[in-house]
Amino acid sequence: MIPPPPGQQPGTESVKAGVPPAVEVRDLHVRLDGVPILTGVDLTVAVGEWVTVIGPNGAGKSTLLRAVGGLLPAPDAVRLFGTPLGALRRRERARVVATVAQYPVVPPGMAVLDYVLLGRNPYIPPLGRESAADLAVVDEVLDRLDLTNFRTRELATLSGGERQRVFLARALAQGATLLLLDEPTSALDIGHQQEVLELVDRLRGEHGLTVLATMHDLSIAGEYADRMVLLDTGRVAAAGAPHEVLTETLLSRHYRAHVKVIPTPHGPLVLPTRPRRHP
């Protein structure tokens, strides 16, 4: 994995010390097919921080991650590590930011090893081949994600959860310092969910990775995030520490859901409850 740029260490204090944040979004507006999807979104993620964007279906979470990852035109509104997105060429951008999309495209007939090797493309010279070092990175990532036995399996034959781990493996193999994770654990059982999130958190500590994620499981989201951003209809409705965002008032207002929020030492536990039945 690539270490963080010199002078940038994990933690929100990097913002205070004048180090540019990993992600800086200012007044981001996105329209798709003429429809406004994001309206005036501001977001800052410090180097080494884990920020999770939550919000109801269609709020614009994936769109925000796509804009930050350079997959939508927003060159002036987004800066990564102080550099405007528009000033980064494609290969440069791929060394800085890796995305695990919600529904990644699976190339037909591709084996797991070849798919994860795609993550090394930004390091392979044009018309060149992967090096022994590239293969070593891929092997290490496959091992860490418990995927070594799947090396030669065709990706399309894997279960949803196994495939989701392969998508994460490709992003980790990319060696970028900023990870954008769009519902990275939605198809995983609780064991693998915990394993993957713990791995990402460990890498964050060891390599100064910065994480910007979206998640629908609010309790788990609150356990891992330093800060959360609640999006609703393309606007930031709330932002802050998990206990400031995961409140009964905000969740019932923006998700139109009946929930009970129970504070625990690990973070707020969000329990969906049935609306009171009328006799």
Ligand X SMILES: Nc1ncnc2c1ncn2[C@@H]1O[C@H](COP(=O)(O)OP(=O)(O)OP(=O)(O)O)[C@@H](O)[C@H]1O
Binding site for ligand X (CB under 6 A): 32-33, 35, 37, 55, 57-63
Would you say 72 or 97 has its CB closer to ligand X? 72
The pair of three-digit structure tokens given for residue 201, joined into one six-digit string:
């958190």
The pair of three-digit structure tokens given for residue 5, joined into one six-digit string:
């740029």
Residue 214 CB, nearest distance to ligand X (Å)?
6
| C-alpha separations of 245 from 24, 81, 231 in Å | 20, 26, 11
Residue 229 CB, nearest distance to ligand X (Å)?
12
The pair of three-digit structure tokens given for residue 95, joined into one six-digit string:
């060394």
Under DSSP, is residue 133 helix (H, G, I), strand (E, B) or coil?
helix
Q: Which amino acid would we find at residue 55? A: G
Would you say 8 or 52 has its CB closer to ligand X? 52
Would you say 32 or 133 has its CB closer to ligand X? 32
Would you say 182 or 226 has its CB closer to ligand X? 182
Q: Identify the DSSP state of 135.
A: H
Q: Where are the beta strands (DSSP E) in 186-226?
A: 210-214
Residue 38 CB, nearest distance to ligand X (Å)?
8
Would you say 112 or 225 has its CB closer to ligand X? 225
| Count of CB atoms situated within 10 Å of the CB of 248 | 15
Would you say 58 or 86 has its CB closer to ligand X? 58
Residue 181 CB, nearest distance to ligand X (Å)?
12
Which letter, b or e, does each residue of 197-208 get, where b requires 16 or more Cβ atoms within 10 Å of its Cβ? bebbeebbeebb
* Residues written for the chain: 279
Residue 1 CB, nearest distance to ligand X (Å)?
27
- Residue 240, φ and ψ in degrees, nearest 5: 160, -165
Residue 12 CB, nearest distance to ligand X (Å)?
25
The alpha carbon of 115 is separated from its chain's Cα centroid by a whole number of angstroms, namely: 19
Would you say 46 or 236 has its CB closer to ligand X? 236
Would you say 153 or 216 has its CB closer to ligand X? 216
How many contiguous H segments (helices) and E segments (strands) does the chain have? 10, 12
Residue 251 CB, nearest distance to ligand X (Å)?
15
| Count of CB atoms situated within 10 Å of the CB of 183 | 19
Residue 225 CB, nearest distance to ligand X (Å)?
16
- Find all residues with CB under 8 Å of 179, minimum gap 6, and list them: 97, 98, 99, 100, 171, 172, 200, 209, 210, 211, 212, 213
- Find all residues with CB under 8 Å of 127, minimum gap 6, and list them: none
